[in-house]
Amino acid sequence: MDTQHLVWGITLIGIGIIAAAFLYVVARSGMPLEYASVQKKAYGIRRWFFWTLVLLGIGTAYGTLVEFPIPDQRGSSAGARVVDAVGKQWSWELSANQFTAGVPVEFRVTSSDVNHGFGIYDPNGRLIAQTQAMPGFTNHLVHTFTQPGKYRVLCLEYCGLVHHNMVAEFEVLAAPQGGKS
Ligand SMILES: [Cu+2]
Protein backbone atom coordinates (compact mmCIF):
# COMPACT_ATOMS: atom_id res chain seq x y z
CA MET A 1 0.00 0.00 0.00
CA ASP A 2 1.53 3.33 -0.94
CA THR A 3 1.64 6.38 1.30
CA GLN A 4 -1.20 8.15 -0.48
CA HIS A 5 -3.58 5.24 0.09
CA LEU A 6 -2.50 4.94 3.69
CA VAL A 7 -3.14 8.65 4.30
CA TRP A 8 -6.48 8.35 2.55
CA GLY A 9 -7.39 5.38 4.73
CA ILE A 10 -6.45 7.28 7.90
CA THR A 11 -8.49 10.27 6.69
CA LEU A 12 -11.53 8.05 6.09
CA ILE A 13 -11.21 6.53 9.56
CA GLY A 14 -10.98 10.04 11.06
CA ILE A 15 -14.08 11.15 9.15
CA GLY A 16 -15.84 7.99 10.30
CA ILE A 17 -15.04 8.65 13.96
CA ILE A 18 -16.33 12.22 13.75
CA ALA A 19 -19.48 11.08 11.92
CA ALA A 20 -20.08 8.35 14.52
CA ALA A 21 -19.67 10.86 17.37
CA PHE A 22 -22.12 13.19 15.64
CA LEU A 23 -24.68 10.40 15.18
CA TYR A 24 -24.23 9.37 18.81
CA VAL A 25 -24.96 12.93 19.98
CA VAL A 26 -28.01 13.13 17.73
CA ALA A 27 -29.30 9.76 18.95
CA ARG A 28 -28.84 10.71 22.61
CA SER A 29 -30.20 14.23 22.33
CA GLY A 30 -33.72 13.33 23.42
CA MET A 31 -32.74 11.44 26.57
CA PRO A 32 -32.53 12.86 30.08
CA LEU A 33 -29.00 13.15 31.44
CA GLU A 34 -27.39 12.87 34.80
CA TYR A 35 -24.96 15.72 34.42
CA ALA A 36 -22.14 14.82 36.82
CA SER A 37 -21.55 11.32 35.52
CA VAL A 38 -21.69 12.46 31.92
CA GLN A 39 -19.21 15.23 32.67
CA LYS A 40 -16.80 12.79 34.26
CA LYS A 41 -17.06 10.48 31.30
CA ALA A 42 -16.60 13.38 28.88
CA TYR A 43 -13.44 14.52 30.65
CA GLY A 44 -12.12 10.97 30.48
CA ILE A 45 -12.75 10.80 26.76
CA ARG A 46 -11.23 14.22 26.26
CA ARG A 47 -8.04 13.26 28.11
CA TRP A 48 -7.75 10.02 26.18
CA PHE A 49 -8.39 11.82 22.91
CA PHE A 50 -5.83 14.52 23.69
CA TRP A 51 -2.99 12.10 24.39
CA THR A 52 -3.92 9.98 21.39
CA LEU A 53 -3.67 13.08 19.20
CA VAL A 54 -0.34 14.08 20.74
CA LEU A 55 1.10 10.59 20.12
CA LEU A 56 -0.35 10.51 16.61
CA GLY A 57 1.18 13.90 15.88
CA ILE A 58 4.61 12.86 17.10
CA GLY A 59 4.37 9.55 15.22
CA THR A 60 3.27 11.24 11.99
CA ALA A 61 5.96 13.93 12.19
CA TYR A 62 8.66 11.35 12.84
CA GLY A 63 7.39 8.80 10.34
CA THR A 64 7.15 11.25 7.47
CA LEU A 65 10.55 12.88 7.97
CA VAL A 66 12.62 12.50 4.83
CA GLU A 67 16.34 12.25 4.91
CA PHE A 68 17.80 15.72 4.58
CA PRO A 69 18.82 15.88 0.92
CA ILE A 70 21.87 18.06 1.35
CA PRO A 71 25.00 16.36 2.67
CA ASP A 72 27.00 17.69 5.59
CA GLN A 73 29.00 20.69 4.45
CA ARG A 74 31.65 20.29 7.11
CA GLY A 75 32.98 17.00 5.81
CA SER A 76 36.64 16.24 6.11
CA SER A 77 38.70 18.26 3.67
CA ALA A 78 41.87 16.22 4.20
CA GLY A 79 43.35 15.38 0.82
CA ALA A 80 40.71 17.41 -0.96
CA ARG A 81 41.25 19.20 -4.21
CA VAL A 82 40.83 22.91 -3.43
CA VAL A 83 38.86 25.11 -5.83
CA ASP A 84 38.15 28.80 -5.49
CA ALA A 85 34.64 29.78 -6.48
CA VAL A 86 33.72 33.44 -6.72
CA GLY A 87 30.22 34.65 -7.51
CA LYS A 88 29.61 38.05 -9.06
CA GLN A 89 26.82 39.74 -10.93
CA TRP A 90 26.27 37.66 -13.02
CA SER A 91 28.65 34.79 -13.40
CA TRP A 92 30.69 32.24 -11.49
CA GLU A 93 34.44 32.10 -11.57
CA LEU A 94 35.87 28.66 -10.80
CA SER A 95 39.61 28.14 -10.52
CA ALA A 96 39.24 24.65 -12.00
CA ASN A 97 36.60 22.89 -14.05
CA GLN A 98 37.70 19.28 -14.16
CA PHE A 99 37.60 16.93 -11.20
CA THR A 100 37.98 13.23 -10.62
CA ALA A 101 35.23 11.02 -9.25
CA GLY A 102 36.05 9.68 -5.80
CA VAL A 103 38.42 12.52 -4.88
CA PRO A 104 36.94 15.05 -2.43
CA VAL A 105 36.70 18.59 -3.76
CA GLU A 106 36.72 21.56 -1.41
CA PHE A 107 34.99 24.59 -2.88
CA ARG A 108 36.02 27.84 -1.23
CA VAL A 109 33.00 29.92 -2.03
CA THR A 110 32.76 33.68 -1.78
CA SER A 111 31.32 36.66 -3.63
CA SER A 112 32.80 39.86 -4.95
CA ASP A 113 29.59 41.89 -4.74
CA VAL A 114 26.27 40.73 -3.28
CA ASN A 115 24.99 37.50 -1.76
CA HIS A 116 24.64 34.59 -4.16
CA GLY A 117 23.65 30.98 -3.66
CA PHE A 118 26.17 28.42 -4.85
CA GLY A 119 24.26 25.30 -5.92
CA ILE A 120 25.81 22.28 -7.61
CA TYR A 121 23.57 20.21 -9.89
CA ASP A 122 24.50 16.71 -11.03
CA PRO A 123 24.20 15.49 -14.66
CA ASN A 124 20.55 14.53 -13.95
CA GLY A 125 19.72 18.06 -12.84
CA ARG A 126 19.50 17.18 -9.14
CA LEU A 127 20.78 19.64 -6.54
CA ILE A 128 23.51 17.74 -4.68
CA ALA A 129 25.32 20.40 -2.65
CA GLN A 130 24.92 24.07 -1.90
CA THR A 131 26.21 26.89 0.22
CA GLN A 132 25.99 30.66 0.40
CA ALA A 133 28.39 32.89 -1.56
CA MET A 134 28.85 35.95 0.65
CA PRO A 135 31.00 39.05 0.16
CA GLY A 136 33.86 39.20 2.66
CA PHE A 137 33.38 35.62 3.83
CA THR A 138 34.47 32.24 2.51
CA ASN A 139 32.32 29.14 2.91
CA HIS A 140 33.98 25.76 2.59
CA LEU A 141 31.88 23.19 0.78
CA VAL A 142 33.35 19.71 0.59
CA HIS A 143 31.86 17.23 -1.82
CA THR A 144 33.03 13.94 -3.28
CA PHE A 145 31.58 13.36 -6.73
CA THR A 146 30.76 9.77 -7.54
CA GLN A 147 29.15 10.05 -10.95
CA PRO A 148 31.20 11.19 -13.94
CA GLY A 149 29.60 13.74 -16.25
CA LYS A 150 28.82 17.40 -16.72
CA TYR A 151 27.79 19.30 -13.62
CA ARG A 152 26.37 22.77 -13.38
CA VAL A 153 26.61 25.52 -10.79
CA LEU A 154 23.51 27.71 -10.57
CA CYS A 155 22.81 30.72 -8.40
CA LEU A 156 20.21 29.89 -5.75
CA GLU A 157 19.60 33.39 -4.50
CA TYR A 158 18.00 36.14 -6.53
CA CYS A 159 20.78 38.67 -7.04
CA GLY A 160 19.56 41.00 -9.74
CA LEU A 161 18.46 41.25 -13.35
CA VAL A 162 20.54 38.48 -14.90
CA HIS A 163 20.46 36.13 -11.90
CA HIS A 164 19.05 33.33 -14.09
CA ASN A 165 22.16 33.44 -16.26
CA MET A 166 24.63 32.70 -13.47
CA VAL A 167 25.58 29.27 -14.71
CA ALA A 168 28.98 27.60 -14.66
CA GLU A 169 29.84 24.13 -15.85
CA PHE A 170 32.45 21.64 -14.82
CA GLU A 171 33.22 18.07 -15.61
CA VAL A 172 33.80 15.08 -13.39
CA LEU A 173 35.96 12.39 -14.94
CA ALA A 174 35.74 8.72 -14.07
CA ALA A 175 38.33 7.58 -11.52
CA PRO A 176 41.27 5.95 -13.31
CA GLN A 177 41.24 2.14 -13.15
CA GLY A 178 43.56 0.49 -10.63
CA GLY A 179 43.73 3.16 -7.94
CA LYS A 180 43.30 6.79 -7.07
CA SER A 181 45.29 9.42 -8.88
CU1 LIG B 1 21.61 34.95 -8.26
Contact call for residues 104 and 142 (beta carbons, < 8 A): yes
Q: In what order do the strands lie in the sheet with 149-155?
A: 98-100, 167-173, 149-155, 116-121, 127-133
Dist CA 47 CA 130 (whole Å) = 46
- Distance (angstroms) between ligand 1 centre and the Cα of 86 equals 12
- Distance (angstroms) between ligand 1 centre and the Cα of 159 equals 4
Q: Is the pLDDT of residue 78 over 90?
A: no
Q: For residue range 106-161, what is the model confidence (pLDDT) as tens digits? A: 999 999 999 999 999 999 999 999 999 999 999 999 899 999 999 999 999 999 99
- Distance (angstroms) between ligand 1 centre and the Cα of 163 equals 4
- Distance (angstroms) between ligand 1 centre and the Cα of 117 equals 6
- Distance (angstroms) between ligand 1 centre and the Cα of 51 equals 47
Dist CA 73 CA 99 (whole Å) = 18
> Taking the model in full, what pTM does it have?
0.57
The most distant pair of C-alpha atoms in the chain lies apart, rounded to whole Å, by 87
Cβ contacts of 121 within 8 Å, gap of 6 or more: 127, 128, 151, 152, 153, 154
Domain ranges of the chain: 3-65, 81-173
- Distance (angstroms) between ligand 1 centre and the Cα of 133 equals 10
- Distance (angstroms) between ligand 1 centre and the Cα of 158 equals 4
For 150, the enclosing helix (H) or strand (E) is strand 149-155
How do strand 127-133 and strand 116-121 relate by DSSP bridges? antiparallel
Q: For residue range 33-47, what is the model confidence (pLDDT) as tens digits? A: 777 888 888 899 999
Rg (CA), the chain: 28
Backbone angles phi, psi at 88, to 5 degrees: -150, 160
* pLDDT attached to residue 77: 67
Q: Is the pLDDT of residue 74 over 70?
A: no
Backbone angles phi, psi at 148, to 5 degrees: -70, 155
**Where is mean pLDDT largest: 18-22, 35-39, 61-65?**
18-22
Q: What angle do CA 28, 31, 32 make, to 5 degrees?
A: 130
User: Which CATH number does 81-173 carry?
Assistant: 2.60.40.420
- Distance (angstroms) between ligand 1 centre and the Cα of 85 equals 14
* pLDDT attached to residue 36: 80
- Distance (angstroms) between ligand 1 centre and the Cα of 160 equals 7
* pLDDT attached to residue 181: 46
Dist CA 124 CA 152 (whole Å) = 10
